[in-house]
């Protein structure tokens, strides 16, 4: 079988940076290394990190109290993952009896900065994204209490009356949807400030799916966590190209008998998918 691997598949630099920070502390003997929620949305990678002494505490949305236990002689450290957190959560974590290290993706930090700057100027913030996603929940903390999350034109129609509006996006959303919604919002608020905050890595991965289709892929295998927002969007984009799409976490999830029906298969992966899993899938597909 011919396998076309997307050049942009796998770790984005923000996720890789967060992992490197946590692993560096663990390798230096700082145990335990706590992370506020899962450091990465990949079960197999989390297992490897756990073996290094990196422990997930709290919850996925970074909202619950942190329960920790370690020996008196330990030197624990708390690492904030790439999704980022709200100012209130930051204050809470810094109040714990341990060192604090922020591994928020710089791209997410830029979004938070833009929201804060406009909120200080009395702008209402509108965020295009998933209201239950930890990145969005963290960003809402910078809106000075005047933030609104939208996912559709209907959500825009239901927004309260606002004087000054700033629109941003969760970093992993579809570019074309952001453009459509920004145009619609400006129909309601012609003076709205629109800032495209979809990160470059997300745009590259979305473009990569389109390129796989153009390069002759008859089906596309999307590798990544079932609950990973950016991976699910890649799978959806693949389906929108009218191509058979297989969203898997590992090779074991793939229906090999079904995939045998194709001569050329494209492979991409979400931003939290490690290279060793992508390599394994590609190698085994080539032998089918």
- 38 and 86, same domain (yes or no): yes
pLDDT in tens, 182-232: 999 999 999 999 999 999 999 999 999 999 999 999 999 999 988 888 899
Digit-by-digit pLDDT tens for the chain (288 residues) are: 999 999 999 899 999 999 999 999 999 988 899 999 998 888 889 899 999 999 999 898 999 999 887 777 788 999 999 999 999 999 999 999 899 999 999 999 999 999 999 999 999 999 999 999 999 999 999 999 999 999 999 999 999 999 999 999 999 999 999 999 999 999 999 999 999 999 999 999 999 999 999 999 999 999 998 888 889 999 999 999 999 999 999 999 999 999 999 999 999 999 989 999 999 999 999 999
| Chosen domain end from 145, 166, 194 | 194
Cβ distance 288 to 1 under 8 Å?
yes
- 238 and 185, same domain (yes or no): no
| Chosen domain end from 194, 214, 233 | 194
- 156 and 207, same domain (yes or no): no
The number of domains in the chain is 3
- 222 and 189, same domain (yes or no): no
- 217 and 230, same domain (yes or no): yes
- 98 and 162, same domain (yes or no): no
Dig out the tokens for 39 from the structure: 């450091």
- 132 and 170, same domain (yes or no): yes
Active-site positions read 135
The radius of gyration computed from the CA coordinates of the chain, to the nearest angstrom, equals 20
Dig out the tokens for 222 from the structure: 């999307």
- 69 and 97, same domain (yes or no): yes
This prediction's pTM: 0.91
Residue range of the domain that includes 280:
2-10+200-286
- 189 and 214, same domain (yes or no): no
Nearest residue to 269 via CA among 84, 22, 41, 23: 41
pLDDT in tens, 61-77: 999 999 887 777 788 99
| Chosen domain end from 105, 130, 163 | 105
What CATH number is associated with residue 165?
3.40.1010.20
- Can you tell me the distance from the alpha carbon of 44 to that of 286, in angstroms, rounded to the nearest whole number? 22
């Amino acid at each position: 079988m011919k396998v076309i691997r997307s050049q942009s598949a796998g770790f984005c630099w923000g996720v890789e940076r967060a992992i490197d920070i946590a692993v560096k502390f663990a390798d230096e003997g700082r145990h335990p290394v706590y992370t506020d929620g899962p450091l990465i949305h990949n079960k197999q990678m989390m297992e490897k990190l756990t073996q290094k002494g990196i422990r997930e505490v709290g919850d996925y949305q970074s909202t619950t109290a942190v329960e920790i236990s370690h020996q008196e002689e330990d030197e624990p450290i708390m690492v904030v993952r790439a999704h980022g957190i709200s100012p209130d959560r930051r204050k809470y974590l810094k109040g714990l009896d341990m060192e604090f290290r922020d591994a928020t993706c710089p791209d997410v930090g830029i979004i938070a900065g833009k929201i804060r700057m406009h909120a200080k100027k009395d702008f209402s913030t509108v965020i295009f994204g998933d209201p239950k996603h930890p990145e969005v929940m963290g960003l809402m903390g910078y809106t000075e209490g005047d933030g609104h999350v939208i996912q559709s034109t209907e959500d825009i129609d239901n927004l309260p009356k606002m004087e000054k509006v700033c629109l941003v996006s969760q970093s992993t959303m579809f570019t074309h949807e952001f453009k459509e919604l920004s145009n619609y919002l400006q129909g309601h608020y012609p003076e709205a400030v629109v800032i495209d905050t979809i990160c470059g890595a997300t745009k590259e991965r979305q473009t990569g799916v389109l390129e796989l289709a153009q390069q002759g892929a008859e089906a596309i295998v999307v590798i990544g966590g079932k609950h990973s927002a950016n991976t699910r969007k890649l799978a959806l984009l693949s389906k929108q190209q009218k191509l058979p799409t297989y969203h898997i976490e590992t090779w074991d999830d793939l229906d090999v008998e079904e995939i045998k029906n194709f001569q050329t298969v494209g492979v991409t992966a979400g931003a939290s998918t490690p290279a060793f899993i992508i390599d394994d899938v590609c190698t085994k597909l080539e032998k089918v």
